Amino acid sequence: MDKEIKKEIGGDERNRKIDSLESLGPYIVEQDNAKNFVYVSDIPQLCKDEPCMLGVDEAGRGPVLGPMVYGIAFCPLSKKDVLKTLGFADSKQLTEEKRDQIFDEMNRKDFAVESLGWAVEAISPNVISMNMLKRTKHSLNEVSMDSAIGLIHAAIEAGVNVAEVYVDTVGPPEKYQAKLKVIFPKFKITVAKKADSTYPIVSAASIAAKVTRDHALKVWKFRERPNEGENTFGSGYPGDPTTKNFLSEIDLVFGFPRLVRFSWSTAGNALEKKAYDVEFEEEIDAKASQKATYGSEKLSKYFSASKNENRKRNEYFRDRCLEHVVDL
């Protein structure tokens, strides 16, 4: 997580504060959906004074559309009853209405606000695809781990007295746990499969992540399709008929809007079937073709490609129709 962290700590007036379900959507609308953003809630004083447990989970790992959101939640070890009172459970097993209700209560109810905090990172579909397709590839697991580690660091920097960390795994839990123990040697760390259904603090993180993703999709603004109606794309999962229909509407030259993770095979296959194949003439290296003057060779010759070398621009630039710009 190497981008600027937008912390809502200490009443920063530059950013909208999320203190209810109602305020979540307006906050997300203000963000650039082509980039990642991080939000950290107010930190309860109890979380600074007492040793805390911290849970980590994600939402939106599998869909072909929209952001993947990582979430953390933290509360004092002495306040486990708060988690039970709020009714935390695996967010995937709760209805959308129930998740929204719990999210609202964890930000409104005094007993919750005084002992429970949370944070999320929304990872843009554009960023996910760029990481997975760049020359030095960064896998989805690596993106996920970077986000989780970054959010834990953000909580520590905000003053949370972390003692125990519980994480819903990506990849083999043993390797992930060993990785985290090296980074956070002072904490008790547990990485497990389906941790959101085992540890209430992970369930709290899961709800923060899931509700944030749901509302990010609800308020998504299309740069490419300004007249696009509200959620005409469905859940984002490849099996959703509405999502399938949305993916069939391809701009034959420019492909998909940024909502789509173009690194997913579902999107790639659709582009191969319908979109135009675009080819560009190879650029001629003008410097290499210049003749020497005054009886001497140009120094630039030694930094130019050979005339006999059939060099093609990198596939990354060719696929995206990118070329050098000299004059604007």
pLDDT tens profile 232-256:
788 888 888 988 888 888 888 888 8
**Statement: residue 23 has pLDDT above 90:** yes
Highest mean pLDDT among 6-10, 106-110, 254-258, 291-295: 106-110
Q: Is 58 annotated as a binding residue?
A: yes
Q: Are 69 and 123 in contact (CB under 8 A)?
A: yes
Range of lowest pLDDT (71-80, 87-96, 182-191, 243-252)? 87-96
- Angle 273-275-280 (CA atoms, 0-180°, nearest 5)? 125
Distance CA 97, CA 113 (A): 21
Inform me whether the pLDDT recorded for 81 exceeds 90: yes
pLDDT at 9 over 50: no
Q: Binning pLDDT at 50, 70 and 90, where does residue 135 land?
A: confident
Give the pLDDT band of residue 11 (cuts 50, 70, 90). Answer: very low
For residue 123, the surrounding DSSP H or E stretch is strand 117-123
Q: Is 123's pLDDT higher than 90? A: yes
- Identify any residues that bridge with 188 across adjacent strands, giving them in sequence order: 164
- Ranked by mean pLDDT, the top range of 6-20, 179-193, 236-250 is 179-193
Is residue 3 scored above 60 in pLDDT? no
How confident is the model over 150-174, as a mean pLDDT? Answer: 97
Q: Is 232 helix (H, G, I), strand (E, B) or coil?
A: coil
If you average pLDDT over residues 91-119, what whole number do you get?
A: 93
65 with 243: CB under 8 angstroms? yes
Higher pLDDT, 324 or 247: 247
The pair phi, psi for residue 306, each rounded to 5°, is -65, 145
CA angle, residues 109, 207, 174, in degrees to nearest 5: 130
pLDDT of residue 244: 87
pLDDT of residue 228: 63
The yes-or-no verdict on residue 165 having pLDDT over 70 is yes
| More reliable by pLDDT, 246 or 320 | 246
More confident residue, 19 or 8: 19
Mean pLDDT, the chain, integer: 85
Q: What is the mean pLDDT of residues 296-320?
A: 58
Question: CA-to-CA distance for 112 and 161, rounded, in angstroms?
Answer: 17
